[in-house]
Structure 1
Amino acid sequence: MKATIEGGCGCGAVRYVLALDRLPPTYACHCRDCQTWSGSAFNQVALLPEALLTVSGPVALCEVTGPSGRVSRQRVCGVCHTRLYSTNSARPGLVGLRAGTLDRSDALDVVAHIWVKRKQPWITIPDGVPAWPESAPPEQFAHALARR
């Protein structure tokens, strides 16, 4: 039997399972949109194949079309409105899982930082962790997420 990683919303109405043997690497996005959406200094995300995620419970959908025409589909708990994950037309087949919703979020590693030109001044990025002023070049970003 394959091991799984679990998580869910704040009220417990929505639970999910990831078909993974270990916690996924995560990245921090410091852009203003992520600061606003998360209500915090950055958004910590695990970028994963959508097929690895199984969700149960009342999930609500919020669609946002950006200036580029790309559609972001945010999934939140239909009861407590905890943001759980999103998909984006720019990266079909992938989900951006909100890392703080994992049951073991305290054991996660942040392996990359993007949009650091917008980061809060009190945040220090550790030496050796890749960081980009804006979005990372796709190949470099994939390489950073594959490192562990």
Structure 2
Amino acid sequence: MVFKGHCLCGQVKYTVDMDAPLLTGYDHCDDCQRQSGSTYSLVVVCLKDKVTITGPTKSWAGKGSSGNDVHRIFCSECGSPIAHDPDAAPEIIAIKGGTLESEYKKTLKPDTEIWTVGKLPFCQEHLAKPFTHMPE
């Protein structure tokens, strides 16, 4: 099975040739919060040799908790984060779940939370006032 995704402007595209990700989870680390601009990053961990990324990307490397670099791959045109690629685990890459094609991301079932030490205290499963769209 192949699943696909792309950045906001559509210039960066990727395919993953795996039946299922190794894991799908919420990454609460401070770096992912900053990169996503949100409380966590939804990551879909895949084997790196099963992922093909095309288009204009840039990468920025910062130190991970292991002391090794974590390469954050993003679209050089629109800035959408695509993946992070940790040197400490060279066989895997963490695709940003929000960039998957809609038909696939709607089927995701997160099974893991990582870096819960960084989980913000107000993060909950359900909030009291859900809105289907932006309220008027």
Question: Could you state the TM-score of these two structures normalised by the residue count of structure 2?
Answer: 0.80
When structure 1 is superposed on structure 2, of 72-81 and 19-28 the one drifting more is: 19-28
Cα 1:6–1:24 change in 2 (3 A) is farther
Residue 70 (1) aligns with residue 68 (2):
yes
**Unpaired segments ≥5 residues, structure 1:** 127-148
Q: Which residue of structure 2 aligns with residue 111 of structure 1?
A: 111
* Structure that is richer in helix per residue: 1
Shift of 1:66: 4.2
Cα 1:102–1:117 change in 2 (3 A) is same
Q: Which residue of structure 1 aligns with residue 14 of structure 2?
A: 16
**Unpaired segments ≥5 residues, structure 2:** 127-136
When structure 1 is superposed on structure 2, of 66-75 and 9-18 the one drifting more is: 66-75
Residue 92 (1) aligns with residue 90 (2):
yes
RMSD, aligned α-carbons: 2.1
Amino acid at match of 1:82: S
Mapped partners of 2:125, 2:115: distance in 1? 12
Q: How many residues align?
A: 124
Mapped partners of 2:41, 2:70: distance in 1? 15
Cα 1:25–1:88 change in 2 (3 A) is closer
| Equivalent residues of 2:4, 2:16 under 8 A apart | yes
Q: For residues 85-140 of structure 1, give each alpha carbon's deviation from its aligned partner in whole angstroms, at most 9, with x where no partner exists.
A: 121111012101111110032221110112324323333359xxxxxxxxxxxxxx
Mapped partners of 1:119, 1:39: distance in 2? 14
Output aligned runs, 1:1-148, within 5 Å: 3-22=1-20, 25-66=23-64, 68-103=66-101, 104-124=104-124
Mapped partners of 1:89, 1:17: distance in 2? 21
Mapped partners of 1:20, 1:41: distance in 2? 28
Q: Percent identity?
A: 28
